Structure 1
Amino acid sequence: MYAVIKTGGKQYKVAAGDKVKVEKLTGDVGSTVVIDKVLLIADGETTTVGAPLVAGAKVNATVVSHGRGDKVMIFKMRRRKHYRKTQGHRQSYTEIKIDTISAK
């Protein structure tokens, strides 16, 4: 059984037992998070597609850790104008472990 969830403006395909890095969520390490924005649930022979969400479906997850991703360098330059700008960015993330997927 797997589901497609939406969190942080992105979509993730998850199954029970998966560890996924998503955009930063509030919650302490070890706490449970309920994600109710489920777009699709597939259970072997049956597939339920929401319009836009599957009614009554939930994904329970546990917060494993919080962290920051690798640094991405942004470099802007205008030729012949002596303009150069360098900037760095590190995106925060939350790693979650999918416990259960439930559909009604």
Structure 2
Amino acid sequence: MFAVLKTGGKQYKVQAGDVLRVEKLDAVAGDKIQFNEILMVDSTVGAPLVAGAAVQAEVIEQIKGPKTISYVKRRRKHSSQRTRGHRQQLTLLRVTDVLASGAEKSGVKAATGTADARRAAHEAPGAAKAAPEAAEKPKRARKAAEAKE
């Protein structure tokens, strides 16, 4: 049984036992995670997702991709040049199971990217510090209020 899953803005065709390199996920080595955005399972095509389908995987490790080097040279009068390197953060996974249905009852943690995890932590209740009302007002408004008093 195979499935097409979506993560990190990319789509992957997987089956049990496959090893994947995907964009960095919020998980550590040894964690079991579950992908819930499944576009296709065998001959079932979702519109846009297949309801109840999931792919379970085990995190092998967090790795860095190969180094890519970009070189920019401007010619003519400025004669400036710049070399810049980059290594993408990746997560290495081993697909353990493809579920055609029953994803909600599995009890496995959903796979989230690091950006999703930061966003969720930021929006969590109690994450924002309680600021006094005076600090929320702009400086001009505070001065105007003090001048009236």
Q: Distance in 2 between matches of 1:55 and 1:16?
A: 20
* The one of 93, 99, 108 aligned to 1:96: 93
**Which residue of structure 2 lines up, in the alignment, with residue 30 of structure 1?**
30
Alignment of 1:57-96 (within 5 A): 57-80=53-76, 81-96=78-93
Question: Higher strand fraction: Structure 1 or Structure 2?
Answer: 1
Q: Distance in 1 between matches of 2:71 and 2:47?
A: 41
**Which residue of structure 1 lines up, in the alignment, with residue 47 of structure 2?**
51
Runs of 4+ with deviation above 3 angstroms: none
- Percent pairwise identity: 46
TM-score normalised by length of structure 1:
0.93
Q: Does 1 or 2 have the higher relative contact order (CA < 8 Å, sep 6+)?
A: 1
The alignment yields a C-alpha RMSD, in angstroms, of: 0.7
Q: Distance in 2 between matches of 1:55 and 1:9?
A: 20
Q: Distance in 1 between matches of 2:30 and 2:83?
A: 38
TM-score normalised by length of structure 2:
0.65
Question: Higher helix fraction: Structure 1 or Structure 2?
Answer: 2
Residue correspondences, number:
100
Deviation at 1:26, TM superposition (A): 0.9
Consecutive unaligned residues of structure 2, counting only runs of 5 or more, are 102-149
Instruction: Indicate the structure (1 or 2) with the bigger Cα radius of gyration.
Output: 2
Q: Distance in 2 between matches of 1:67 and 1:18?
A: 17
SS of equivalent residue, structure 2 residue 28: coil
Deviation at 1:85, TM superposition (A): 1.1
Q: Distance in 2 between matches of 1:63 and 1:101?
A: 15
Deviations, residues 43-89 of structure 1 (Å, cap 9, x unaligned): xxxx0001111111011100001110111001111122302111000
Q: Distance in 1 between matches of 2:74 and 2:81?
A: 7
Consecutive unaligned residues of structure 1, counting only runs of 5 or more, are none
Q: Distance in 1 between matches of 2:67 and 2:90?
A: 13
